[in-house]
Amino acid sequence: MSEETPTPPSGPAAGNATPPSGPRAGGPPSGPAGGGDRPPRPPREDRPDRGDRPDRGDRPPRAPLTVKGRLRAAARKKARKSAKKKGMFQRRKVCRFCADKNLSISYKDVKTLRLFITETGKMTPRRISGTCAKHQRPLALEIKRARQLAMLPYAPSHF
């Protein structure tokens, strides 16, 4: 008679210290070897021609664009056009407060603060203005102070 030695249990219940690894750790196995819910895909050369999809000409006519839609379309077109030119050298933005140490950030200096808000009254983000993080924080605080004292607008109608 041969005696079988019992194998120790494995998995999370066994108390193994190593956690599962991989992008889908703990989830159901997937892929051709994993045996997921879907059947395996046929190779590319065996796939149908996709002739069942309608061509662009078969689509129903679109509704007229709204003003916002037209603006978005124009912005996309402009972005594509500028991406085409991409060979142009773009100058690195420099924080004007780091460059000029004498320039102070104060709620009283409305002329300087106006350079950092848009025509709609919003604060300009760092990526647009080029201000460093060190100076963007006090700048935002001073803009808020100036707004509180009605030196700067909250909304475009307040200009």
User: Could you read off the pLDDT of 119-147 as tens digits, one per residue?
Assistant: 899 999 999 999 999 999 999 999 999 99
Query: Is the whole-model pTM more than 0.75?
Result: no
Determine, yes or no, domain membership for 103: yes
Which residues pair with residue 123 across a beta bridge?
117
Could you give the 3-state DSSP secondary structure of residue 58? helix
Helix, strand, coil share (%) of the chain residues, nearest 5: 40, 0, 60
Determine, yes or no, domain membership for 125: yes
Number of structural domains (the chain) is: 1
Burial of 112 (0-12, 13-18, 19+ CB in 10 A): middle
Which domain covers residue 137, as residue numbers? 96-158
